[in-house]
Amino acid sequence: MARLPWLVLAGLTLATAASPADDTRSSPASLTAAIQRSTLKNGLKLVLAPDPQATAIDVAVWYDAGSRHDRAGKTGLAHLFEHLMFRGSSRFAEGEHMRLIRAEGGSSGAFATPDFLCFYETLPPDAMELAFRLEADRMTGLNLSQAALDAERRNVGPERARRASVLSRGLERLYRLAYSTSPYRWPIYGEAADLPKLTLADAQGFYRQHFGPSNAVVTVVGRFDPAQVLAAARKAFEPLKGSAAPGAVPMDKPQTAERRAVDTAGSPVRALMVAWRVPARTDARWPALDLLSVVLGRGTGSRLDRALVVDQPSCSSVDGDLESHKDESLIYFSAALLPRADSTEVERRLLGEIGRLTAEPIGEGELERAKRQLETAAWLSVQTSHGRGQALGQSVMLAGAPEDFTRQLERIRACTANDLMRVATLLDPARREVLWVSAVGGQP
C-alpha cells in the first residue's frame, strides 16, 4: 500500500527489546481470511486474526484521537498523549509498562497520526494477558500530572528537530496551503504558539473525551486461541466505562483556484512541491490514485525521475506519494533541484509530465510495474504479526473495516490505464498547491 510518511514524521517507536522471532509467511490476500470481530458491552471493538503458524502475538489499541481532534488554540494534545500514556497508571508506575514487556522478551511502541493514535505490544503468545492488563489500566486509569505534561511539552521541540527534513518541512507547509478550515492544516506536533498554553485541565478533558473503550479498537494478531483471547479481553476491558464520542471535524470547501507559496526560511537545497486534495481511502478512485502516484513519482524509474533526474538532469531526486486520511487524502510530488537548475523550467517540465497523463494512456507494461510495486510492498509489510496488526488496524481506522487491506489490493489489480487517465483529471491546475522551498541564502 502507499507509504504513510506521517508514521515517519510523527511516530515514536518506544522499542524495549527486539520483537520475538516471527517467521510467518502469508500473502496479503490471506490476511483477512480468519478474522473474527466482536464488540464488548461498553463499545470496545475487537479484531482477532489468529495465525497458527506465527511465533508471536501482536496486541494493538487504536484510539480515534489523532491531531484532527485537536482544536484551534489547543493543538498538540493528541501527540502529547503518545508520550503521556507511558507515564504510569493506577496500577503500574511510570516506566513499568515497558519494563514488564521487556521482561517477557517483547517490544512496545506508539505513534500519532492525523486520524488516530496507536499503542502496541509484540510478545510471546503466553504473555497476551499482560498486554491486555497494561492497556486496560491506562485506558481509563492514566496518571496525569502537571510535571508530566511540562516534561513532555519540553520534549516536543527536540523531537521535532530530530525528525526534520526538507521533505517533512515542505509537507507541513503544503498542508497549511491546502487546508484553511480542516484540522489537517496544523502539524501533528501542534502549533509552537499553542504548546506553552496547554493546561493540565486541557489534557484531562482530552483524555476523558477520547480515551476509553467506546472510542477504541483492539487488534490481536498471531498465534492464539480466539475463544481464550475473547474471554481475556472481556475480563480486562469490559468492566471499563465508555468514553464520550469525539466531536465533528470541520472540512474545507472544494478548492477553485491554484494556491502558491514560497518558504524563504532556507533549506540545504531548492525544492519544488506540488499537491492536490483528493478523495479519501474509502472512495472507489483511491486505488487508481495510488497507482498514479507510483507511475509519476515513486522510486527510480518513475516518470518524474526519468524526466528530471535521468534524461535531462536538473534535479538530484524526486519523490511522490498518496497520503491517506479518513476524510481526504493528499497526493504530492516533489523535486530537489541541482544547484544551477532553472526553477521555471523544472516547474514547467514537472507539471507537464503530470498533465500528460490526462491525454496519453500509460502502457500496459508501465501499469503492471506499478501494480507489482504496490503488491510487493503490501506483501512485505505483513510478514510478521506486528505488520499484519498494523495493516488491519489502519484499515479499520481509515476505512472502517479490517478487510479493506485486501479489498484495496484487489481493486489495484483490477485498475486499467483508462482508470488512471480518469483520476488524473483530479490533478486540475485550479485545485493544486505549488510550494517552492528556497535554498539557504537564496530564492527559488
Q: What is the DSSP track for 1-18?
A: ----HHHHHH-B----SP
Question: Once rounded to an integer, what is the mean pLDDT over residues 318-332?
Answer: 94
Residue 137: closest CA among 57, 280, 235: 235
Which residues make beta-bridge pairs with 275?
332, 433
Q: Tell me the three cell numbers of residue 362.
A: 500509460
Q: Which of 14-18, 150-154, 248-252 has the highest mean pLDDT?
A: 150-154
Sheet with 45-50, strands from edge to edge, namely: 36-39, 45-50, 216-222, 57-63, 117-123, 107-112
pLDDT score at 137:
96
The DSSP string of 35-90 is -EEEE-TTS-EEEEEE-TT-S-EEEEEEES-SGGG-BTTBTTHHHHHHHHTTS-BS
> What's the fold here for domain 259-439?
Cytochrome Bc1 Complex; Chain A, domain 1 (3.30.830)
d(CA 344, CA 444): 9
235 compared with 32, residue with greater pLDDT: 235
pLDDT score at 84:
96
Condensed to tens digits (0 to 9), the pLDDT of residues 52-64 reads: 999 999 999 999 9
105 Rama sector, left if φ>0, alpha if ψ -120 to 50, beta otherwise:
left
Q: How many residues does this entry show for the chain?
A: 444
Which residues make beta-bridge pairs with 112?
117
Residue 111: closest CA among 142, 152, 81, 144: 81
- The answer to whether 424 touches 168, Cβ cutoff 8 Å, is no
Residue 264 to residues 118, 351, 428, Cα–Cα distance (Å): 35, 22, 26
- The answer to whether 63 touches 216, Cβ cutoff 8 Å, is yes
Other Cβ atoms closer than 10 A to 196: 8
Per-domain residue ranges of the chain: 5-237, 259-439
pLDDT band at 442 (very low <50, low <70, confident <90, very high): low
Residue 223: closest CA among 111, 389, 109, 377: 389
pLDDT band at 30 (very low <50, low <70, confident <90, very high): low
Residue 91 DSSP code: S
pLDDT score at 438:
85
- Are the folds of 5-237 and 259-439 the same? yes
pLDDT score at 251:
87
Residue 174: closest CA among 290, 294, 87, 276: 276
- The answer to whether 385 touches 58, Cβ cutoff 8 Å, is yes
Architecture of the structural domain at 5-237: 2-Layer Sandwich (3.30)
Percent residues over pLDDT 70 in the chain: 91
Residue 116 DSSP code: -
Three-state secondary structure along 141-198?
HECCCHHHHHHHHHHHHHHHHHCCCHHHHHHHHHHHHHCCCCHHHCCCCCCCCCHHHC
pLDDT score at 21:
41
Specify the range with the lowest mean pLDDT, choosing from 105-109, 173-177, 357-361: 357-361
Q: Tell me the three cell numbers of residue 356.
A: 500528460
* Chain centroid offset of residue 127 CA: 28
